[in-house]
């Protein structure tokens, strides 16, 4: 059966992209295939990971462009590569309502907290963990969800809790949430959604 065609959107080091690539090799991700990596930054470490694994890659710079140009650049690449599922893996930009509404159920995102805590506009990367520590929560985690027009507001697919330790810094917490939760959940969710896309395609 033809696998779901996946594009991964990234902005940074790409450890979540790596988890997806590893899941493809191990067979955890078997209903979808990563065919393209699009980075919003030229110097994103994720690009090297794509290169090392023979995956097509492209840069659509987010800086010094309008949002319309940025999204038009991404859309053109997605169309050209026949993308069926878009995985946001450390992608640091909020996609417009028009972009998202045109692709219902076809965009998923990994967020480093237990939504609805510490999410939405302004909560990304290390800031999420800083906010969790400031608040004093004893449990945090990660969430994979569908993307809709509300930032971090789409239907939840999977969540996993991670304990906060007494001496945690934002950096140690980020590392543990990534390793114990994000890197496990994102491949599982990508498989679930890919399987669904393939099933729907073959029942048409
Ligand atoms: C990850 O922790 C991801 O959850 C977070 O950025 C990091 C990217 O790491 N994403 C967000 O905060 C989006 N709201 P990576 O580039 O190593 O995968």
Angle CA 50–129–45, to nearest 5: 15
Pairwise CA distance, residues 171 & 124, whole Å? 13
To the query of whether residue 111 is one of the catalytic residues in this protein, the response is yes
- Supply the angle between the helices 183-202 and 15-26 in degrees, to the nearest 10: 60
pTM of the model: 0.97
How does strand 107-111 pair with strand 139-146?
Answer: antiparallel
Q: Among the options 111, 129, 145, 183, which is catalytic?
A: 111
Per-residue model confidence (pLDDT) at position 64: 87
pLDDT of residue 87: 99
pLDDT, tens only, 152-187: 999 999 999 999 999 999 999 999 999 999 999 999
The pLDDT score that the predictor gives to residue 203 is: 82
Task: List, for the chain, all residue ranges whose pLDDT scores fall below the cut of 50.
Answer: none
Give the ligand 1 atom nearest the CA of 178. Answer: 2
**Backbone angle region of 90, left / alpha / beta, with phi > 0 → left and psi within -120 to 50 → alpha:** left
| CB-based pocket (< 6 A), ligand 1 | 10, 12-16, 46, 89-90, 110-112, 124-125, 128, 178, 182
Protein residue closest via CA to atom 7 of ligand 1: 90
């Amino acid at each position: 059966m033809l696998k779901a065609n996946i594009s991964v959107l990234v902005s940074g080091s790409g450890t979540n992209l790596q988890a997806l690539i590893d899941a493809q090799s191990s067979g955890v991700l078997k209903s979808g295939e990563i065919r393209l990596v699009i980075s919003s930054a030229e110097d994103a470490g994720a690009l090297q990971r794509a290169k090392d694994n023979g995956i097509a890659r492209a840069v659509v710079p987010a800086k010094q462009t309008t949002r319309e140009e940025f999204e038009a650049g991404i859309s053109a690449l997605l169309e050209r590569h026949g993308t069926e599922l878009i995985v946001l893996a450390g992608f640091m930009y909020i996609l417009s309502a028009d972009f998202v509404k045109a692709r219902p159920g076809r965009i998923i995102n990994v967020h480093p907290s237990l939504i609805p805590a510490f999410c939405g506009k302004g909560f990304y990367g290390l800031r999420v963990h800083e906010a969790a520590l400031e608040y004093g929560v004893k449990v945090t985690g990660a969430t994979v969800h569908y993307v809709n027009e509300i930032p971090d507001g789409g239907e939840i697919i999977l969540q996993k809790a991670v304990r906060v330790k007494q001496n945690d810094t934002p950096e140690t917490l980020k590392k543990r949430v990534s390793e114990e939760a994000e890197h496990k959940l994102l491949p599982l969710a990508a498989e679930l959604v890919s399987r669904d896309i393939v099933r729907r395609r073959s029942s048409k």
